[in-house]
Amino acid sequence: MTSAPHPIDPRALRDAFGCFMTGVTVVTTLVSTGRPQGFTANSFASVSLDPPLLLVSLANSSRNINTFAKGEGFAVNILAEGQKDISATFARPSEDRFANLYWRKGPAGNPLIAGVSAWFDCSLEQAIPAGDHTILIGRVAGFEATPAAGLGYYRGAYVTSAQTAAQMPAGPDVVITAILEAEGKVLLQDDGRGGLTLPMARAGRDGVQAALARLIAASGLQAQPGAVYSVYDDPAQGAQHIAFLCPTAPGKPRMGALVDLSRDGVADVTDPAARIMLERLADEAPTGRYGIYFGTHEQGRVQRAQEREEP
């Protein structure tokens, strides 16, 4: 058994994230009256090891949305292969999903289900609207992992990780984009089709923060991981895109070139969603009044800093 004392051990947390990225999870919290509440999710993703952050997403149509988006925290319970009944219970409407279910409070005070393969107990760091879902970012207060096989769900059937190791994807379908901006210029690279593109990478088992760090390192520029600038879904790709605006020092990139951050300068970006995002950045940069885009690759809304509400 691997147990995390305080403070969180980044190496142990990284190993736990890597082992349980594709398991069926039950996400739980306590309402103000102290009653436990939860729902079944089939994936979650690591965001950062320092500080220790993870994310899950919840449909805005869910009856649980207000409880989780405005609560104090949540726990991610990765079910063991013998807990199919628990998965089914939390996936369907019920007046009391915790009836006859043993649970205890974790370090952050959220319900931990007995017998799971692993759990991560989190305080709510941020709730981010993203299209028809809300992304819940949690700061890990404690976690525990066991050797027990996790329960998976693939192509309409429950499976164990061993059964699908060769065919399951390496991580969640999250594409990370690095917007490396330096003194009115932005890094663009050849997209291999006669046009330009931003540095992008698929987030794997080591999470969003690691993917962003790899993009920055590959650029050869001195840059810092920055704030989220856009979050949007692309149903055609079956992926969710998260773009980070990263402050960058002037220099010579290892690949691509720094081009003028203007509508003319980004005109050769072939991906329409990326080009529109850069055009917005070109308009916002002179004033420094940035917003975050939420929606799909075709439509959404920009939320300004003063419009954001505390989760």
pLDDT of 105? 93
Q: Which has the minimum average pLDDT: 33-37, 77-81, 249-253, 300-304?
A: 300-304
What does the pLDDT average to over 237-244?
83
For the entire predicted model, the pTM comes to 0.51
DSSP for 45-104, written as a single string: EEEEETTEEEEEEEETTSTTHHHHHTSSEEEEEE-BTT-HHHHHHHHS--S-TTTT--EE
Pairwise CA distance, residues 147 & 170, whole Å: 20
Of the pLDDT bands very low, low, confident and very high (cuts 50, 70, 90), residue 307 is very low
pLDDT of 2? 43
Residues pairing with 186 in the sheet: 181, 259
pLDDT at 292 over 60: yes
* Residue 307, helix vs strand vs coil: helix
Check residue 149 and report its DSSP letter.
Answer: P
pLDDT at 142 over 80: yes
Check residue 271 and report its DSSP letter.
Answer: S
Closest-CA residue to 205 (of 176, 253, 172): 172
Summarize pLDDT for 89-138 with one digit per residue, the tens.
887 776 788 888 889 999 999 999 998 888 999 999 999 888 888 889 99
Backbone angles phi, psi at 84, to 5 degrees: -60, -35
Question: In b/e form, how buried is each residue of 178-208, taking b as 16+ CB within 10 angstroms?
Answer: bbbbbeebbbbbebeeeebbbbbbebbbbbb
Summarize pLDDT for 255-289 with one digit per residue, the tens.
899 999 999 999 999 999 899 999 999 998 888 77
CATH 3.30.70.980 fits 174-299, yes or no: no
pLDDT at 249 over 50: yes
What does the pLDDT average to over 222-251?
84
Closest-CA residue to 140 (of 68, 36, 47): 47
Of the pLDDT bands very low, low, confident and very high (cuts 50, 70, 90), residue 86 is confident
Pairwise CA distance, residues 81 & 96, whole Å: 23
Closest-CA residue to 270 (of 211, 192, 172): 192
pLDDT of 308? 30
Mark residue 11 as left, alpha or beta (left: phi above 0; alpha: psi -120 to 50; beta: remaining): alpha
Pairwise CA distance, residues 286 & 184, whole Å: 9
Which ranges in the chain are annotated with CATH 2.30.110.10?
Answer: 2-164
For residue 198, what are the contacts with CB-CB under 8 A and spacing of at least 6?
A: 177, 178, 179, 186, 187, 188, 189, 243, 269, 274, 278
What does the pLDDT average to over 169-174?
54
The answer to whether residues 119 and 113 touch, using CB atoms and an 8 Å cutoff, is yes
The two three-digit tokens of residue 96, written as one number: 């009391």
What does the pLDDT average to over 13-37?
73
Pairwise CA distance, residues 184 & 106, whole Å: 47
Pairwise CA distance, residues 46 & 121, whole Å: 13
Is 58 exposed, middle or buried (CB count within 10 Å of its CB: 0-12, 13-18, 19+)? buried
The dotted CATH code for 2-164 is 2.30.110.10
Which ranges in the chain are annotated with CATH 3.90.79.10?
Answer: 174-299
pLDDT of 210? 83
pLDDT of 299? 73
How many CB atoms neighbour CB 114 within 10 A?
11
User: What percentage of the chain's residues is helix, strand, coil (to nearest 5)?
Assistant: 20, 40, 40
Q: Which has the minimum average pLDDT: 1-5, 97-101, 232-236?
A: 1-5
Of the pLDDT bands very low, low, confident and very high (cuts 50, 70, 90), residue 75 is very high
| Strand pairing category for 133-145 and 118-130 | antiparallel
pLDDT at 230 over 60: yes
pLDDT at 1 over 50: no
pLDDT of 23? 65
pLDDT of 240? 84
